[in-house]
Amino acid sequence: MSSVLAERLGNKSVRIQKPPIKHPQHTLTVALRFTIKPADEREKYVAILNAMIKRVEKIINSKKTKTRQRLRAMQVLTDLIRTSYGMVRDVEIKELEREVSALEEEKGKTS
């Protein structure tokens, strides 16, 4: 709604401006108490990464692995190593697990 009203009085137009409405503002302070244990989570993720690195190394070193799959496995291995040196996040781990599983499935189909 506009803060300006127009009224017609006879032949004259009169504009009346209303003052803006001020809403009271209150500050709300909330204290949340919880504990994050990044060391425990990081150790779990590092163990998962190490296991995936070993799985990919098996694919790379297998004599049955075709060149195209070996190159893809090397790219996945690079991503795994890069992730292990950076900030490990749950989403990255799940994506890498999918890639490693896909590699193993491809290897199984060609064996």
Q: Is the pTM of this model over 0.85?
A: no
Q: What is the pLDDT of residue 6?
A: 52
Instruction: Measure CA of the first residue to CA of the last residue in the chain; give whole Å.
Output: 73
Give the residue extent of every domain in the chain: 37-111
Give the pLDDT confidence of 35-85 residue by residue, as tens digits.
Answer: 666 677 778 888 888 899 999 999 999 999 999 999 999 999 999 888 877
CA geometry: angle 14, 16, 21, nearest 5 deg = 170
Q: What is the pLDDT of residue 82?
A: 85
